[in-house]
Amino acid sequence: MNMTNNLVSIIIVNYNGKNYLKNCIESILKNNYNNCEIWVVDNNSKDGSINMVNDEFRNVPNLHLIKLSNNKGPAYARNIGARRARGKIIGFLDNDTEVDVNWITKAVKYFQNDSSIGILQCKLLMVENKKQFDYAGEYLSSLGFLVHRAYHREKDKGQFDNPAEILAAKSAGMFIRRDVFEKINGFDEDYFIFMEETDLGWRTWLAGYRVIFAYDSIVFHHFSITKKIVKPSFNNYLVRFHGTKNYILTLYKNLSLKNLIFILPKNIFLWLGLAAYLCMRGNFSSSKNIMKGTFWNITHFPQTLRKRKKVQKTRKISDKNLFKKICKKRSVYSYVKQFLSAQKQLVTPENQNGYSVI
């Protein structure tokens, strides 16, 4: 497919991120790909974000603003933007990102040269230090948790400067073929926040497409912006409840039956162990939210089972062959250490490289 001059649609979900959104849009407008459109989907911001976009970018013909009446989370908002977008390639950015001028051009070449690529993860570097990593893709461990390729703020020495197959991409900087996005029915809106990108990437693999890391399509990302936007108590709920709920949900939907029986009980055991540990430490709020996230999957079992059946019907690759590409071994001790670190930082294991802005 010749995509050289095809329209690319960029979707940015915003929630009270006015101070970051302006820089994000301005950086996109400086990129060297001359056929793109921008869709800002606002999750009912109260900080003047909408007025800022209307005032600062009213003369930009390819910029469109969608105002939602309430905040149903980034997964829902991205789907809304994708339905309105017209491009054959859809790019997703967080509102606290800035992009390299070659960001779209480099990504389009990958899709043009390889029709098996469904999703492309950009190299995510830190805004404040452009030689440090935020994210370079993720793998899956034998216990069903995520393993990040790059440590947060790891120095970029070119160690990941080659295309690589990964489990999934992060919406702070990723591209997906529109036909693939539609084929797998986009983001699962039950996620609200956290792990929705992992689920999307996993379903892309099952549908017969690859997910890759593209080292030369570069996006710069801030860190932990959500902590500055939402109240600590609500942030605890977002991280602990949705993090736990969505980890279990993702495994249940996407694993084959054999691996579901083998992996999911161990995963749930570790979550419950973390809840017990937090309770003993007096962190009752976190413990309660983890328990709520676990039991959500029990109370919503019928609807999740229907989703699982739909996902498994799309399967074109076995877990055995997929795991050869996207699995990495980790010890139980490393999870314990990671959980303890997460307790201090209020960051779930899947999201230890930073918070998504909703």
d(CA 316, CA 314): 6
CATH 3.90.550.10 residue window(s) in the chain: 8-227
Helices then strands, counting H and E runs in the chain, come out as: 14, 12
CATH class for the domain made up of 8-227: alpha beta
Q: Answer whether residue 197 shows pLDDT above 60.
A: yes
Q: Are the beta carbons of 102 and 109 closer than 8 angstroms? A: no
Q: What is the pLDDT of residues 34-57, one digit of tens each?
A: 899 999 999 999 999 999 999 999
Alpha helices in 123-177 (DSSP H): none
Rounded to whole angstroms, the maximal C-alpha distance in the chain is 59
For 231, counting Cβ atoms within 10 Å of its Cβ (0-12 exposed, 13-18 middle, 19+ buried), the class is exposed
Q: What is the pLDDT of residues 294-314, one digit of tens each?
A: 999 999 999 999 999 999 999
Q: Which residues pair with 62 in a beta bridge?
A: none
Q: Answer whether residue 347 shows pLDDT above 60.
A: no
Extract the tokens encoding 253.
């939907």
Q: What is the pLDDT of residues 237-278, one digit of tens each?
A: 888 999 999 999 999 999 999 999 999 999 999 999 999 999
3-state SS assignment for residue 164: strand
Q: Which residues contact 39 (CB under 8 A, 6 or more apart)?
A: 9, 10, 11, 12, 64, 65, 66, 81, 84, 85
Mind giving me the DSSP string for 29-51?
HT-S-SSEEEEEEE---SSSHHH
